[in-house]
C-alpha cells in the first residue's frame, strides 16, 4: 500500500474519531436529526463523565423571568424557584447524550435541597415528549416544554444538552454543555457550590 493511501486512510480514521467525540459531547441544534434514536438510549447508564465544557463566564447572572409549560397545561415561571439551588437541563429527544444523562438527572431530582428542571427543546412535539417521559418512567417529574424557543434565545443554546446551575438567590454559578453523569463524585463537587456557605 502506498504511503499516500495509508495517509488518506489515517486521515479518515481521525475524522471518524473526531465525529464520535463530538457526538458524545453534545448535539448541535442545527444539524440535529428530526427523529428520536431507537433502542431505549435513556435507560443506559451515562458514561463517567461524558466530554463537555464547564463555562463560568456568566457567573452572577440573574435567573431570567421565563415561563415554560407541560403538555397538560401546568405552567412554570423560573423566578418562582428561587430559594434553593436550581439545576436547569435543556435536552431533546433526538439527542443521544441528553437521553444518556436524563436518568441521573431524574435520580438527582428526588433529592431534597435541590430543584432539577428538565426543559425539552423539541419544537412542536409535546406528545412525543410526553410519550418519551412516560416510556422511561419519569412520572412525577414534569416534562417542561419551550414552544416559543424562549430558552434558546436567552441562553443562546447551540448544543444539547446544556445544563445551567443557579444558587438559592437565583444567581448563575456555571453552565455545562455536553452530556454528564450527574451521579458522579465530580458532579457532586460542582453541585456543592450551590450550597449556602
Instruction: State the CB neighbour count (10 A cutoff) for residue 32.
Output: 16
Q: Which domains does the chain carry? A: 3-194 (3.40.30.10)
pTM tops 0.85: no
3-state SS class at 168 = coil
What residues are paired with 160 via a beta bridge? 27
Taking only the tens place, the pLDDT of each residue in 114-154 is: 999 999 999 877 888 999 999 998 988 999 999 888 998 99
Rounded distance, CA 113 to CA 73, Å?
26
Grid cell 448544543 is found at 159
pLDDT band at 25 (very low <50, low <70, confident <90, very high): low
Rounded distance, CA 178 to CA 125, Å?
22
pLDDT above 50: residue 21 = no
- Between 5 and 120, name the one with better pLDDT: 120
Rounded distance, CA 4 to CA 123, Å?
46
Proportion of the chain above pLDDT 90, given as a percent: 61
Phi, psi torsion values for 115, nearest 5 degrees = -105, 130
Q: Which residues of 83-116 are buried (b: 16+ CB within 10 A; e: fewer)?
A: eebbbbbbbbbbbbbbbbbbbbbbebbeeeebeb
Q: How large is the average pLDDT for residues 161-165? A: 97
Cα atoms in the 13 Å half-sphere on the side-chain side of 3: 0
Taking only the tens place, the pLDDT of each residue in 29-83 is: 544 443 333 333 343 344 444 468 999 999 999 999 999 999 889 999 999 999 9
Amino acid at each position: 500500500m502506498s504511503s499516500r493511501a495509508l495517509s488518506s486512510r489515517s486521515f479518515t480514521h481521525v475524522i471518524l474519531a473526531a465525529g464520535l467525540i463530538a457526538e458524545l459531547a453534545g448535539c448541535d441544534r442545527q444539524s440535529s436529526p428530526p427523529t428520536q434514536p431507537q433502542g431505549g438510549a435513556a435507560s443506559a447508564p451515562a458514561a463517567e463523565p461524558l466530554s463537555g465544557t464547564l463555562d463560568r463566564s456568566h457567573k452572577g447572572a440573574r435567573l431570567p423571568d421565563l415561563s415554560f409549560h407541560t403538555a397538560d397545561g401546568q405552567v412554570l415561571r423560573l423566578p418562582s424557584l428561587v430559594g434553593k439551588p436550581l439545576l436547569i437541563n435543556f435536552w431533546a429527544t433526538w439527542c443521544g447524550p441528553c437521553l444518556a444523562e436524563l436518568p441521573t438527572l431524574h435520580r438527582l431530582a428526588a433529592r431534597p435541597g435541590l430543584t432539577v428542571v428538565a426543559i425539552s427543546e423539541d419544537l412542536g412535539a409535546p406528545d412525543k415528549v410526553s410519550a418519551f417521559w412516560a416510556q422511561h418512567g419519569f412520572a412525577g417529574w414534569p416534562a417542561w416544554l419551550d414552544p416559543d424557543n424562549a430558552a434558546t434565545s436567552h441562553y443562546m443554546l447551540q448544543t444539547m444538552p446544556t445544563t445551567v446551575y443557579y444558587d438559592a438567590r437565583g444567581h448563575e454559578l456555571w453552565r455545562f454543555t455536553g452530556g454528564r453523569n450527574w451521579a458522579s463524585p465530580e458532579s457532586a463537587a460542582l453541585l456543592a457550590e450551590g450550597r449556602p456557605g
